[in-house]
């Protein structure tokens, strides 16, 4: 996983140069999508509310292009990408509050404090990203959270949006996540790295999806089975026995001992 042998500071630079096109491309894509979404949302108005996030997004996009063209050298991947992600979060927050009332005279509106803090976050995030260009650090410990992120976001899109477009998008995200997860799990070099996050997040989402319709017993058992796959040490028979034991324990502890209102069995049983 972490490249222990060649972990000289240069390794980070070498690797960041290899991936520069891809990484820069993602940064540019993020900037373009946010700008486009905000302009679309405002009825194709280029100025007015939502100008600050667009300006920040343009700056981020410019940085992304610089990365793609290999004009800048990322010496400290942790800080560079970490800082950029925080700037991205600040842009999202600024866009989400763009429609709300700001200052009214000297009284704070609902959007004043969030914008203030988001603005500060953009500044500090930017500063962190810039330290990532100036300081040296060993390469980032590899990780891949694409599938778990896609799935957990898809849960919200699927359940809390209306209209064909969004529903299709959510299903697309799930399918994409499954394909990526399958490919990564097939690949021996990446299996160990992706295994934990994929099965853990999957287990949590399985619990969220099954607890209402199927009841506590089913949800607990399935969740234990799925989460046990998160480690390569999992053994079938042991896991099934353990899952059954935990299911019995949970179905006694929570509804009876702690008197919490839980449905034990699937809805159609009642």
Partner 1 sequence: MHDLIANLSMGFGVAAQPYNIMLCLIGAVVGTLIGVLPGIGSLATIAMLLPITFGLPPVGALIMLAGIYYGAQYGGSTTSILVNIPGESSSVVTTLDGHQMAKQGRAGPALAIAAIGSFVAGCFATILVAALGVPLTSIALMFGPAEYFSLMVLGLIFAVVLASGSVLKALAIILVGLLLSMVGSDLETGVSRMAFDIPEMSDGIGFVQVAMGVFGFGEILRNLDNPGSRDIVQSKVTGLMPTIADLKASAGAITRGTVLGSILGILPGGGTIIAAFAAYTLEKKVSKNPERFGRGAIEGVAAPESANNAASQTSFIPLLTLGIPPNAVMALMVGAMTIHGIVPGPQVMTKQPELFWGMIASMWIGNLALVVINLPMVGVWVRLLRVPYRLLFPMIIIFCLVGIYSLNNSPFDVAMTALFGVVGYWLIKHDFEPAPMLLGMVLGPLMEENLRRAMLIARGDATVFLTRPLSASLLVLSLILLVLAVLPSIRKRRDEVFVEE
Task: Return the residues of window 146-205 that contact partner 1 according to CB under 8 A.
Answer: 148-149, 151-153, 155-156, 159-160, 195-197, 200-201, 203-205
| Other beta carbons within 10 Å of 134 | 11
Asked if residue 75 binds partner 1 (CB under 8 A), the reply is no
Asked if residue 50 binds partner 1 (CB under 8 A), the reply is no
Asked if residue 12 binds partner 1 (CB under 8 A), the reply is no
Nearest distance, CB of residue 105 and partner 1, angstroms? 7
Question: SS3 of 126, please?
Answer: helix
Q: Which residues contact 247 (CB under 8 A, 6 or more apart)?
A: 217, 220, 221, 224
Asked if residue 41 binds partner 1 (CB under 8 A), the reply is no
Asked if residue 109 binds partner 1 (CB under 8 A), the reply is yes
Among 209, 217, 264, 266, binds partner 1 (CB under 8 A): 209
The answer to whether the beta carbons of residues 108 and 151 sit under 8 Å apart is no
DSSP assignment of 12-73 equals HHHHHHHTHHHHHHHHHHHHHHHHHHHHHHTTS--SSTTHHHHHHHHHHHHHHHHHHTT-S-
Q: Which residues contact 184 (CB under 8 A, 6 or more apart)?
A: 144, 147, 190, 191, 193, 194, 198
**Which is nearer to partner 1, 71 or 270 (by Cβ)?**
270
Closest CA to 83 of 134, 11, 15: 134
Asked if residue 25 binds partner 1 (CB under 8 A), the reply is no
Asked if residue 261 binds partner 1 (CB under 8 A), the reply is yes
Asked if residue 86 binds partner 1 (CB under 8 A), the reply is yes
Among 40, 47, 106, 269, binds partner 1 (CB under 8 A): 106
Nearest distance, CB of residue 51 and partner 1, angstroms? 18
What does the CA dihedral 22, 26, 27, 32 come to, rounded to 10 degrees?
Answer: 130
Among 22, 143, 182, 265, binds partner 1 (CB under 8 A): 143
**Which is nearer to partner 1, 103 or 175 (by Cβ)?**
103
The one segment of 9-17, 44-52, 172-180, 227-235 that binds partner 1 by CB under 8 A: 227-235
Nearest distance, CB of residue 3 and partner 1, angstroms? 15
CA distance 209 to 120: 38
**Which is nearer to partner 1, 38 or 69 (by Cβ)?**
38
The answer to whether the beta carbons of residues 53 and 34 sit under 8 Å apart is yes
The one segment of 31-39, 55-63, 137-145, 179-187 that binds partner 1 by CB under 8 A: 137-145
Widest CA span in the chain: 68
């Amino acid at each position: 996983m972490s490249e222990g042998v060649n972990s000289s500071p240069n390794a980070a630079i070498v690797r960041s140069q290899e991936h520069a096109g891809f990484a820069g491309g993602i940064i540019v894509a993020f900037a373009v999508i946010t700008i486009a979404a905000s302009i679309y949302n405002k009825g194709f108005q280029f100025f007015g509310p939502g100008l600050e996030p667009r300006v920040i997004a343009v700056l981020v996009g410019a940085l992304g292009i610089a990365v793609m063209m290999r004009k800048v050298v990322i010496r400290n991947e942790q800080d560079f990408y970490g800082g950029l992600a925080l700037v991205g979060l600040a842009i999202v927050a600024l866009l989400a509050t763009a429609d709300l009332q700001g200052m009214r005279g000297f009284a704070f509106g609902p959007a004043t404090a969030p914008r203030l803090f988001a603005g500060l976050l953009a500044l500090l995030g930017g500063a962190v990203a810039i330290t990532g260009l100036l300081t040296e650090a060993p390469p980032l410990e590899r990780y891949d959270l694409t599938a778990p992120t896609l799935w957990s976001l898809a849960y919200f899109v699927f359940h809390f949006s209306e209209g064909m477009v969004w529903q299709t998008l959510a299903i697309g995200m799930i399918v994409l996540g499954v394909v990526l997860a399958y490919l990564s799990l097939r690949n021996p070099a990446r299996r160990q790295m992706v295994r934990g996050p994929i099965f853990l997040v999957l287990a949590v989402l399985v619990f969220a999806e099954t607890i209402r319709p199927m009841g506590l017993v089913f949800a607990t058992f399935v969740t234990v089975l799925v989460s046990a796959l998160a480690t390569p040490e999992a053994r079938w028979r042991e896991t099934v026995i353990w899952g059954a034991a935990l299911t019995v324990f949970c179905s006694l502890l929570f509804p009876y001992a702690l008197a919490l209102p839980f449905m034990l069995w699937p809805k159609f049983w009642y």
